[in-house]
């Protein structure tokens, strides 16, 4: 297909003339056509106005019609798969298998939310019926449910061009809630964004919904992104990216006359604990598992295991195989030059730390923007005295920290900020005798992993992909799983409302047949 290189403003295309830049191939730094054009301020204002108008209709759209939209988006993305297979590897360096796999995950996520809203019970309907004869004060009739917030700004992520970007989890859950979405495209994969954006635009039209339900804008985060967050009609923000970027959006949103929630997934090092008995029994297998988790996607997963806690007497059981595999590994292209440069800076910091030892490093190829896997090691005393060692190094690098007692292990966990995941490996007896570790893990993370590795994030109802700050801006939320929809809703109560005026979800007859909490 021929890419146009302009924003998608409802049912129309942008007409500006200021360049937003060209995507480039990270393997060779060659720029890719077309040259993308930034949305003008007028176009941005129009996109938000369309979204505001669309909200008045979309917030009342039935679950069945929202489900139809989400399924149609999935079908349209699947219909565009060959275009994605052609374009996305050029922009990201990702292989065809990853493109197809991520497209499948994205479409599966859309269909999961379609099933959720079609069922209807997600609105958490609660009914407390009136008791007019109650003494000393009659009880009023109150009924509540979750309702959509309003237009949502979504910032596409660099590391998942499909699953966390234009039609990713933020967009899918916001649409499921009944909120129009304006996506700020990521400059690293502008063409991929356009292909997916057109699939969504067509789905909105095919489903007969207002054009303002979806727009996609190009431009810099400092101009287009900030203008979106500051606009009074935007009621929430979804973001996946760096701590600096997420924090800037949080500050912008908090400074508005009407502050709004920012759901930002930002930074995590995802500690892994390997207890002594299992280290001795399965050291090689654990080393292989760590290597696979560490290097998956060139280490560019937000759930990458960047920190490994191992008892000092057991460390050689794990590092032997891990070091062997890392030393035998080769480099691979990262998603873009900026990520690669940041990875290099993180490696330099660890290499120059006086009490951190380089255990292993792979070999570097000739292509551009190459990431070489690395393993470093230090002691608990050094780690506890060095706050900088808790900073994320985004890429295929990990830091092994040795400890000598359970008290030291508890101190290590206590020194960490919020995390997306925390993992522990142990025998059944070890896990049973280390319940305190599980309790510590629960306080600092969104997902506890037992005898597994954190990189895979299943798309399912119970998944939590979140965690306390700074892993995310709001530790009560998740960006994966059906609970993600609640980020873009608020509770509304109807008191003594005539049945005819109630939403169907709260009517006496329960015409939708949903599950309700009734008293």
Tokens of 426: 């142990």
User: Annotated catalytic residue: which of 91, 118, 211, 265?
Assistant: 265
| CA 58/CA 67 separation, integer angstroms | 12
Residue labelled with tokens 């993370």:
445
Do the beta carbons of residue 176 and residue 485 sit within 8 Å?
A: yes
pLDDT at position 367: 86
Q: Tens-digit pLDDT profile for the chain (519 aa)?
A: 999 999 999 999 999 889 999 999 999 999 999 999 999 999 999 999 999 999 999 999 999 999 999 999 999 999 999 999 999 999 999 999 999 999 999 999 999 999 999 999 999 999 999 999 999 999 999 999 999 999 999 999 999 999 999 999 999 999 999 999 999 999 999 999 999 999 999 999 999 999 999 999 999 988 999 999 999 999 999 999 999 999 999 999 999 999 999 999 999 999 999 999 999 999 999 999 999 999 999 999 999 999 999 999 999 999 999 999 999 999 999 999 999 999 999 999 999 999 999 999 999 988 899 999 999 999 999 999 999 999 999 999 999 999 999 999 999 999 999 999 999 999 999 999 999 999 999 999 999 999 999 999 999 999 999 999 999 999 999 999 999 999 999 999 999 999 999 999 999 999 999 999 999
DSSP states along 463-516 = -----STTTBS-TT--SSSGGGGGGGEEEEEEES--GGGS-GGGSTT-TT----
Asked if 460 is an active-site residue, the reply is no
Per-residue DSSP letter, 103: H
Tell me the per-residue pLDDT of 430-476, one tens digit each, with 9 for 90 and over: 999 999 999 999 999 999 999 999 999 999 999 999 999 999 999 99
**Measured CA distances, 419 to 175, 248, 348, 423 (Å):** 27, 20, 24, 11
Q: Give pLDDT tens digits for 56-98.
A: 999 999 999 999 999 999 999 999 999 999 999 999 999 999 9
Contact 157, 264 (CB under 8 A): no
- Other Cβ atoms less than 10 A from the Cβ of 281: the count is 11
Catalytic residue among 91, 118, 179, 302: 302
> Which of these, 297, 358, 353, 301, lies nearest to 327 by C-alpha position?
358
pLDDT at 168: 98
**Which pLDDT score is estimated for 353?**
96
> Residue 216 in contact with residue 194, Cβ under 8 Å?
yes
Question: Backbone phi, then psi, for 327, in 5-degree steps?
Answer: -60, -30
Nearest to 206 by CA among 105, 13, 79, 65: 65
Distances (CA, A) of 299 to 172, 265, 325, 394: 26, 17, 15, 7
Contacts of 22 (CB under 8 A, 6+ apart): 31, 32, 33, 34, 35, 36, 190
In angstroms and rounded to an integer, the radius of gyration of the C-alpha atoms of the chain is 24
Give the model's pLDDT for residue 221: 87
Q: Which CATH number fits domain 271-450: 3.20.20.100, 3.40.309.10, 3.40.50.720, 3.10.20.30?
A: 3.40.309.10
Q: Is 302 a catalytic residue?
A: yes
498's CB contacts (< 8 A; 6+ apart) are: none
According to CATH, where is 3.40.309.10 located in the chain? Answer: 271-450
> Are 196 and 190 spatial neighbours (Cβ–Cβ below 8 Å)?
no
Strand order in the sheet with 126-128: 489-495, 142-148, 126-128, 517-518
Give the per-residue pLDDT at 222: 87
Domain with CATH 3.40.605.10 in the chain: 8-91+149-266+475-490
7 cis-preceded (ω within 30 degrees of 0): no
DSSP string covering 220-239, please? Answer: -IIIIIHHHHH-TT--EEEE
Question: DSSP letter at 335?
Answer: S
Q: Quickly name the fold that domain 8-91+149-266+475-490 has.
A: Aldehyde Dehydrogenase; Chain A, domain 1 (3.40.605)
430 φ, ψ (degrees, to nearest 5):
-65, -45
Q: Are the beta carbons of 83 and 199 closer than 8 angstroms?
A: no
CA distances from 457 to 182, 198, 248 (A): 25, 27, 27
């Amino acid at each position: 297909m021929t890419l146009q290189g302009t924003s998608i403003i409802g049912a129309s295309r942008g007409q500006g003339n200021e360049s937003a830049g060209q995507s480039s191939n990270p393997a060779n730094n060659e720029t890719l056509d077309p040259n993308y054009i930034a949305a003008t301020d007028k176009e941005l204002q129009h996109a938000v106005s369309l979204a505001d108008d669309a909200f008045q209709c979309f917030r009342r759209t039935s679950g069945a019609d929202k489900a139809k939209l989400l399924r149609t988006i999935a079908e349209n993305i699947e219909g565009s798969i060959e275009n994605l297979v052609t374009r996305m590897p050029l922009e990201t360096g990702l292989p065809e298998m990853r493109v197809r796999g991520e497209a499948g995950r994205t479409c599966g996520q859309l269909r999961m939310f379609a099933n959720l809203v079609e069922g209807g019970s997600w609105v958490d309907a609660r009914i407390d019926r009136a008791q007019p004869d109650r003494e000393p004060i009659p009880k009023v009739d109150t009924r509540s449910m979750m309702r959509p917030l309003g237009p949502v700004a979504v910032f596409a992520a660099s590391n998942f061009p499909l699953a966390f970007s234009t039609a990713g989890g933020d967009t899918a859950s916001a649409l499921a809630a009944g909120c129009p979405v304006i996506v700020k495209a990521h400059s690293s994969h502008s063409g991929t964004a356009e292909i997916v954006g057109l699939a969504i635009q067509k789905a909105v039209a095919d489903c007969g919904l207002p054009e303002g339900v979806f727009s996609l804008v190009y431009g810099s985060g400092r101009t287009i992104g900030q203008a979106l967050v500051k606009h009074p009609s935007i009621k929430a923000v979804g973001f996946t990216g760096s701590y600096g970027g997420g924090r800037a959006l949080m500050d912008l949103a908090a400074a508005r006359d009407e502050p709004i929630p920012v759901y930002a997934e930002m930074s995590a090092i995802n500690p892994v604990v390997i207890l002594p008995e299992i280290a001795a029994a399965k050291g090689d297998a654990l080393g292989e598992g760590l290597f696979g988790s560490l290097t998956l996607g060139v280490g560019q997963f937000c759930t990458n295991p960047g920190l490994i806690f191992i008892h000092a007497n057991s460390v050689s059981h794990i590092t032997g195989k891990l070091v062997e595999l890392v030393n035998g590994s080769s480099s691979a292209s990262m998603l873009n030059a900026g990520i690669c440069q940041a990875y290099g800076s993180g490696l330099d910091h660890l290499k120059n730390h006086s009490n951190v030892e380089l255990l292993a490093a792979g070999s570097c190829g000739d292509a551009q923007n190459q990431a070489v896997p690395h393993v470093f090691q230090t002691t608990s005393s050094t780690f506890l005295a060095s706050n900088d060692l808790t900073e994320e190094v985004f890429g295929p690098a990990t830091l092994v920290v040795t400890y000598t007692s359970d008290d030291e292990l508890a101190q290590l966990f206590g020194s960490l900020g919020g995390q997306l995941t925390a993992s522990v490996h142990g025998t059944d007896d070890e896990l049973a005798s280390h319940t305190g570790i599980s309790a510590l893990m629960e306080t600092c993370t969104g997902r506890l992993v037992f005898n597994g590795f954190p990189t895979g994030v299943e798309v399912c109802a119970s998944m939590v992909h979140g965690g306390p700050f700074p892993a995310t801006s709001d530790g009560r939320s998740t960006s994966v799983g059906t609970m993600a929809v609640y980020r873009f809703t608020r509770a509304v109560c109807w008191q003594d409302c005539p049945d005819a005026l109630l939403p169907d979800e709260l009517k006496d007859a329960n015409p939708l047949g949903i599950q309700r909490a009734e008293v």
